[in-house]
Chain A
Amino acid sequence: MRGPVTKHGLTRRDALVGVGALAAGLSGRWYPAAAASAAPITIVINQSPWFDSFRKTVELYEKQTGNKVELDVNPFAGSLEKQRNSVRASKGQYDLLIMNSGWFAEMYFGGFIEPISDIDTSFKLDPDVYTLGDTVYFDAARKIMVPTGKLMSVPIAPLIPIVYYRGDLYKEAGLKAPETFAELEANARKFHKPPGRYGIVQRGARGPASVSFDFYPYLYGFGGGIFKNQAAGDYSVTLNNEAGLTALQYYLRMAKEAGHPQTASLDQAEVIQNMATGKAVHIMAVVSAWSQMDDPDKSAVIDKVEFAPTPHAPGFSTASGLGHWLGGIARNIPDDRKRGAFEFLKWFQTRDAQIANAKFGGIPINAASYRDPISQERKFRWMKPLAESLQHAVSVYQFPEASEVIAILELGLNQAVARNVEAAPALNDMADKIHGVMTKYGYQTAKLPALR
């Protein structure tokens, strides 16, 4: 699509190319012509622990290519609202949408995202890029996320929770990193000395995606799940099976007997704060908080925190719920801006960009970064457990009404943590409500007999 023509007979793109070339000439450097031709873009993104590293990576992109990127930074819920407003208008304000695992399906199903493979038919995702439960693909006809569908997005942050634990205390006690839930419980109890030190600090608050996100590693690590088989279109609710019950009972027991007394009101920031101030011996948090642990301005436990995959029950593997972020290009923007957003994503997914991203404190999306020598450095000691965990990460939601299910889990789990409701009735109630949502929207669903 040709953009508006100026009175000098130049398109906006021509003018930008000229300005870019002039800037390059004036600065005494020469940038690749193709990259310099990309239109300025605006990225809408949320303020997360990993945002600072993303901003620095974007600045590196601007420096290397001469292309301009504007960042519109928002709180978690605010970012979603801005994205909805933009994609539902006839002309979009934002070019690149940084979408969370809780809402990217809404964008795919609603037809708001331009498939990357439609912008550049020759583009192939770097084989080392994590596809995160194949959530970067979408088969619009079958309404499922499979590699045979079109490439819709590029991962931006492969966030999953991993275990942060106090390596110094473990070393003193002669312990090894917890692999199973039984080991985690025994170790948490051993170090639990409230109010000065808590065996584990969990994220039990009710929010947009707080306590539910904290609970997924327990649920899936015990072999449970919310639905029977989403990829096959079977949305039978399995939350209230025996594995789910064991998982929730374990989660509540840890909160009550080895956890923080205020678990029901602790959100991500408070959980990380407890670890950084030395009050928590274990937390399960997104890996992006790693840089805060060794930051002298923020941490009282510098070089004392170690990392491990989330635990699992015997016979199962570590299984964190994906809380990842994907970059998708809006459909309702001019072609030159789609191309500009595409150029950024194409650059961002490369090994070199991702190593730079890691050095800035970010979490690489390219597996080659985890094989790079930097992964052996003490500073990047989280890379090995993360790479191991990513292979088993679970894509929890693959349908657009996910926010309704998350809201049910947030309330039900928070009530259970606040000890108003026992595990079995809490699970039964949540399962009933989730079944109601899936029935209302016409999904193939069923429910289990109530737990006693």
Chain B
Amino acid sequence: MDGSVSASAPMAATPKPGRTDASYGAPDDAVWRWVTLSPALLMMLLLSVLPLANLFLSSFYTVSWAEGRAVWMPAGLANYAALARDDLLQAGVTNTLIFAVFAVGGQMLLGFVLALLCVRVTSGRVLYRTVFILPILIPGIVVGAMWKLLLNFDFGLVNQLVGLAGFDPVNWLGARETALASVIMVDIWHWTPFCFLLFLAGLESLPQDIYEATKIDGATIWQELIYVTLPMMLPTIVVTFAFRLILAFKVFDEVYLLTSGGPGTATEVLSFTLYQRFFREDKTGYGAAMSMSIIFLVCILLIFALSARRRAGTAP
């Protein structure tokens, strides 16, 4: 269908939402639907379902190598049972939850405050937006290098500033008390601009007549924020939160580059545990079981996020 509308087809010229395919002249039968959908379904099957199915099947085997060939031994549910006994995984789950709560919380709060401050700024928009979004444009490996240098115990800029203030240098990445907080801080620095941009776009799209009405009613800035801005921004806040929460559960590069999960398991996160078990230790079956469990966890989060989005009234 080319989308052109002729004068002799008034029904097609004014299509209404929810109209059936038959209204546009296409045959309304199952065969036609399957024929048109099948390329997309096939692509989805090849790119998404097949790798997942393969991962799922692998999780029920242990794989070893002999004579240059893989030896697959059925393991039943042993790989899944072993997850419960994995100390590293338990530390990974705990730290990932802490990381997600504090990093995402910090990014949301800072991003929202910055967006509120900037939304009414009219001059120098290009400049401040460029400066603010700079961290998300920097590759993860560069972020790791930058902060590894900044937080270096002996010659890092942060400790030099701490020294100038008259305090002893802090072991940012090497002490159990500060390592996870340092990684969270780096993540907040890295991803706050993402939240800022989404919030700024949301704030700029809010209808101005409502604000004019609140001014006429004599509302304070605080009342305007609580009773007007926040309710109207709720859909954007929920979507941003969902995005960031899911991405926070996948954090890897910052931990790998800054602390390698240490000291001890202080900064162990789920992705790093998986990397350790699957790649370094070459446990294919066990790594697959761990991967499936993480995917399951992320799916739960996704369902939670979609349901929250629906409740916030943003469902399509």
> In this assembly, does A295 line the interface, its C-beta being within 8 Å of a C-beta of chain B?
no
A328 CB to closest chain B CB (Å) equals 13
Contact, CB under 8 Å: A110 / B66? yes
> In this assembly, does A414 line the interface, its C-beta being within 8 Å of a C-beta of chain B?
yes
Bound-state Cα–Cα, A206 to B260, Å:
7
Q: Which residues of A contact B276 (CB under 8 A)?
A: 407
Report the interface size for chain A: residues with CB under 8 A from the other chain: 37
> In this assembly, does A132 line the interface, its C-beta being within 8 Å of a C-beta of chain B?
no
Question: 13 A-B Cβ contacts within 8 A?
Answer: A77-B280, A84-B282, A106-B65, A110-B65, A111-B68, A206-B262, A261-B153, A265-B174, A265-B263, A407-B280, A414-B263, A415-B264, A420-B176
Give residues of chain A (309-331) contacting chain B, Cβ–Cβ below 8 Å.
331
> In this assembly, does B103 line the interface, its C-beta being within 8 Å of a C-beta of chain A?
no
Contact, CB under 8 Å: B280 / A208? yes
Contact, CB under 8 Å: B169 / A195? yes
Contact, CB under 8 Å: B265 / A415? yes
> In this assembly, does B28 line the interface, its C-beta being within 8 Å of a C-beta of chain A?
no
> In this assembly, does B245 line the interface, its C-beta being within 8 Å of a C-beta of chain A?
no
Contact, CB under 8 Å: B263 / A417? yes
Candidates B67, B260, B266; contact of A207 at CB < 8 Å: B260
Contact, CB under 8 Å: A414 / B262? yes
> In this assembly, does B289 line the interface, its C-beta being within 8 Å of a C-beta of chain A?
no
Contact, CB under 8 Å: B68 / A332? yes
Candidates B174, B279, B280, B282; contact of A264 at CB < 8 Å: B174
B73 CB to closest chain A CB (Å) equals 12
Contact, CB under 8 Å: A262 / B174? yes
Candidates A106, A111, A266; contact of B282 at CB < 8 Å: A106
Contact, CB under 8 Å: B154 / A88? no
Q: Which residues of A contact B282 (CB under 8 A)?
A: 84, 106, 403
Q: Which residues of A contact B176 (CB under 8 A)?
A: 418, 420
> In this assembly, does B92 line the interface, its C-beta being within 8 Å of a C-beta of chain A?
no
The SS class assigned to the A binding surface is loop
Bound-state Cα–Cα, A207 to B280, Å:
10
B251 CB to closest chain A CB (Å) equals 17
Q: Which residues of B contact A415 (CB under 8 A)?
A: 263-265
A233 CB to closest chain B CB (Å) equals 18
> In this assembly, does B281 line the interface, its C-beta being within 8 Å of a C-beta of chain A?
yes
Bound-state Cα–Cα, A418 to B178, Å:
12
Bound-state Cα–Cα, A265 to B172, Å:
10
Give residues of chain A (196-211) contacting chain B, Cβ–Cβ below 8 Å.
205-208
Q: Which residues of B contact A261 (CB under 8 A)?
A: 153, 171, 174
Give residues of chain B (143-190) contacting chain A, Cβ–Cβ below 8 Å.
153-154, 169, 171, 173-176, 179
Q: Which residues of B contact A417 (CB under 8 A)?
A: 263
- Would A111 and B263 be within 8 Å (CB), given that A81-B279, A84-B282, A407-B280 are in contact? no
- Return the CB mask of A93-108 against B: 1 if under 8 Å, else 0: 0000000000000100
Candidates B66, B69, B260; contact of A109 at CB < 8 Å: B66
Candidates B66, B154, B265, B281; contact of A111 at CB < 8 Å: B66
> In this assembly, does A112 line the interface, its C-beta being within 8 Å of a C-beta of chain B?
yes
- Return the CB mask of B82-111 against A: 1 if under 8 Å, else 0: 000000100000000000000000000000
Q: Which residues of A contact B265 (CB under 8 A)?
A: 411, 415
Q: Which residues of B contact A77 (CB under 8 A)?
A: 279-280
Contact, CB under 8 Å: A265 / B259? yes
Q: Which residues of A contact B69 (CB under 8 A)?
A: 111
Q: Which residues of A contact B266 (CB under 8 A)?
A: 418
Q: Which residues of A contact B67 (CB under 8 A)?
A: 111
Give residues of chain A (166-217) contacting chain B, Cβ–Cβ below 8 Å.
195, 205-208
